[in-house]
Structure 1
Amino acid sequence: MARSGGSLAVGSRTLLLLALSHLVVQLIKRSVGRPRPMAGESSSALVLIPDHFSFPSGHACAAMALSVALANAMPALTVPLLFLALLVGFSRVMLGVHFPGDVVMGQAIALISAYPILG
Structure 2
Amino acid sequence: MHRQIADLSRWVSSLGDGLLYALLGAGLALLEPNAGELFLFVGLLAFLIELPLYLLLKNIIRRNRPCGFVVSDAVIQPSDRFSFPSGHSAAAFVFATLIATYYPMFGELAYFMAMLIGLSRVLLGVHYPSDIAAGAVLGILCAELAIQEWATFLVLL
TM value normalised by structure 1: 0.90
Answer whether contact 2:75 2:124 (CA < 8 A) is retained.
yes
Q: Does 1:103 align with 2:132?
A: yes
Instruction: Tell me the secondary structure at the aligned position of residue 102 of structure 1.
Output: helix
Instruction: Tell me the secondary structure at the aligned position of residue 72 of structure 2.
Output: coil
Distance in 1, Cα, partners of 2:84 & 2:49: 17
Q: Does 1:45 align with 2:77?
A: no
In terms of Rg, which structure is larger? Answer: 2
Pick aligned residue for 2:119 from 83, 90, 97: 90
Find the counterpart in structure 2 of residue 65 from structure 1: 94
Unaligned runs of 5+ in 1: none
Distance in 1, Cα, partners of 2:106 & 2:71: 42
1:114 corresponds to which letter in structure 2?
A: A
Instruction: Tell me the secondary structure at the aligned position of residue 10 of structure 1.
Output: helix
Moved over 6 A (4+): none
Unaligned runs of 5+ in 2: 1-31, 149-157
Find the counterpart in structure 1 of residue 105 from structure 2: 76
Pick aligned residue for 1:11 from 40, 43, 51: 40
Q: CA deviation at 1:42?
A: 6.6
**RMSD (CA atoms):** 1.6
Q: CA deviation at 1:17?
A: 0.8
Matched pairs, number: 116
Q: Deviations over 1:31-81 (max 9, x none)?
A: 111110001347342122111111100001011111111221100111111
Pick aligned residue for 2:65 from 33, 36, 40: 36
Find the counterpart in structure 2 of residue 26 from structure 1: 55
Identity of paired residues, percent? 31
